């Protein structure tokens, strides 16, 4: 006989007291810490516990008794269902206050190192429509909200294009208006959706791996250029023609598109790094610009998704590097060489290292189109390339700039940096927790001299942080 599932408690009139990790807030009930999404400090709520461990629980707010005086009214119609932009209920001034606190807490509690005064966070000038890239998914399984299920809403059309629902890998929330990217993105997506509905195009089923329309990527740039990439599964005769008719419609409706691309993807996943990208109309790239430098962005290129804040982030990194024109700089995890090219004018030589070979090719192109001849780029796993032998061959760096992924740096990379003994290290991080761990390992030879948080993603809990380390005397 199956064990009866234990009924989880309803906690009544609980005051939310603080902001926690992953965009959640928290409350304390006796000795129990309760994590709650979509609430803010000062809210008084009834909480339905969904998951309980010994010392913590996860719950959802089922009734509001009092709203916090610092609560903001979410502006997006999809808020609370989509899973993104969880902090819309917090005014932006409060968001950056908590991001500042997150950086401070991580560096002090995890790093446990001597710190200077942490500079006030650089907030984002744009808090809406700030992204330059979004990806939408087509699905034949439209996600129905709790309200729609309760009201037994029947849709004529169960196909949807939008975002994946957290925890439901094969279901997609139909997006009408997203506030993350310039509104042209909404216009293009909705036009494609309406055309597909009208002409009975099949939407992808992730479980059965059937259906034609799979993904849509839209890139915008600060130069006003626009890239649209449609990803389809083509297996039956006539489907390629159908896809091209759709692209013809897009090209005609939106003549401002700079680069109209498509990918035939018959694999079981949506990644396109190993697939050919075909040009339907226009160029195979768009350009981003920063301080007169032009960066070529292809379909597979990585570029910081908030262009305005990326510029502020790179300026901080360059200022921290303290370049005079005589320095050998290593740029680790260089991506498409954005930082490497951005600082090259102030350096003697810059060597960039990156795991993705395509990104390195982009980096070389970006140097060439800007007439930069003092950069060198290498592709491969950082821990395998950045070795003592590599340093002996290319010279000891005066400055290392490192911008690793969320997991931080491998121990071997840290050990090689310690061997290289640059005068200064500029550590750019998208995860202050792993940054703090790495800083504690570098502490044997390096002292933290400056800390500058930067907000790249308004309405989310994510925060970037730049740290300057100098070699101990």
Q: Indicate which residues carry an active-site annotation.
A: 430
Q: Is 403 annotated in some ligand binding site?
A: yes
Please give the Cα distance from 68 to 51 (Å, whole number).
Answer: 25
Q: How many other β-carbons are positioned within 10 Å of the β-carbon of residue 294? A: 14
Neighbours of 131 (CB within 10 A): 23
Residue 333 marked ligand-binding: yes
Cα gap 103→467, rounded to integer Å: 11
Maximum CA extent, the chain:
76
- Taking the C-alpha atoms of residue 301 and residue 297, their distance in angstroms, rounded to an integer, is 6
98 in a known ligand binding site: no
Write the burial class of residue 361 (CB in 10 Å: 0-12 exposed, 13-18 middle, 19+ buried): middle
304 marked as part of a ligand binding site: yes
DSSP-derived secondary structure letter, 389: H
Nearest to 172 by CA among 266, 82, 68: 82
Contact 177, 77 (CB under 8 A): yes
CA distance 318 to 350: 13
CB 280 within 8 A of CB 260: yes
Cα gap 173→141, rounded to integer Å: 9
User: At 95, which helix (H) or strand (E)?
Assistant: helix 92-106
DSSP 313-353: HHHHHHHHHT--S--EEEEET-TTTHHHHHHGGGSSEEEEE
Looking up tokens 């079981």, which residue turns up? 268
- Owner of token pair 């896809």: 243
CA count, 13 A, side-chain hemisphere, 367: 25
Q: Which residues are annotated as a binding site for S-adenosyl-L-methionine?
A: 304, 333, 354, 403
Q: Which residues are annotated as a binding site?
A: 304, 333, 354, 403
């Amino acid at each position: 006989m199956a064990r009866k599932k234990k009924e989880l408690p309803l906690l009544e009139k609980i005051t939310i007291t603080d902001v926690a990790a992953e965009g959640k807030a928290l409350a304390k009930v006796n000795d129990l810490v309760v994590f709650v999404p979509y609430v803010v400090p000062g809210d008084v709520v009834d909480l339905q516990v969904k998951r309980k461990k010994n010392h913590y629980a996860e719950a959802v707010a089922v009734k509001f008794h009092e709203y916090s005086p610092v609560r903001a009214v979410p502006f997006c119609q999809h808020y609370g269902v989509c899973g993104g932009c969880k902090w819309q209920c917090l005014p932006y001034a409060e968001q950056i206050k908590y991001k500042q606190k997150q950086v401070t807490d991580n560096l002090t509690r995890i790093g446990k190192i001597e710190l200077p005064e942490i500079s006030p966070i650089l907030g984002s000038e744009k808090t809406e429509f700030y992204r330059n890239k979004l990806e939408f998914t087509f699905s034949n399984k439209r996600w129905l909200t709790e309200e729609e299920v309760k009201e037994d809403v029947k849709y004529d059309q169960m196909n949807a294009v939008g975002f994946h629902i957290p925890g439901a890998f094969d279901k997609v929330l139909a997006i009408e208006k997203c506030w993350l990217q310039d509104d042209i993105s909404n216009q293009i997506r909705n036009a494609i959706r309406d055309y597909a509905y009208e002409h009975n195009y099949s939407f992808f089923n992730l479980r059965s791996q059937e259906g034609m329309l799979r993904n849509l990527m839209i890139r915008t740039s600060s130069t006003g250029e626009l890239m649209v990439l449609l990803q389809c599964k083509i297996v039956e005769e006539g489907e390629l023609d159908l896809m091209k008719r759709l692209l013809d419609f897009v090209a005609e409706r939106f003549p401002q598109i700079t680069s109209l691309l498509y990918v035939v993807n018959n694999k079981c996943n949506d990644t396109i790094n190993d697939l050919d990208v075909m040009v339907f109309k226009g160029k195979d790239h768009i350009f981003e610009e920063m301080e007169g430098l032009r960066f070529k962005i292809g379909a597979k290129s990585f570029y910081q998704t908030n262009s305005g804040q990326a510029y502020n982030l790179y300026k901080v990194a360059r200022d921290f590097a303290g370049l005079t024109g005589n320095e050998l700089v290593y740029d680790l995890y260089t991506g498409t060489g954005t930082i490497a090219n951005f600082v090259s004018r102030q350096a003697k030589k810059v060597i960039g290292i990156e795991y993705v070979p395509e990104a390195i090719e982009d980096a070389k192109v970006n140097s060439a189109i800007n007439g930069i001849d003092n950069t060198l780029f290498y592709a491969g796993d950082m821990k395998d390339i950045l070795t003592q032998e590599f340093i002996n061959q290319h010279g000891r760096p005066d400055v290392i700039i490192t911008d690793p992924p969320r997991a931080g740096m491998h121990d071997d990379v840290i050990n090689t940096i310690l061997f290289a003994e640059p005068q200064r290290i500029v550590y750019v991080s998208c995860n202050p927790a792993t940054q703090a761990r790495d800083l504690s390992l570098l502490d044997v030879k390096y002292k933290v001299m400056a800390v500058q948080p930067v907000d790249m993603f308004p309405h989310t809990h994510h925060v970037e942080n730049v740290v300057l380390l100098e070699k101990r005397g």
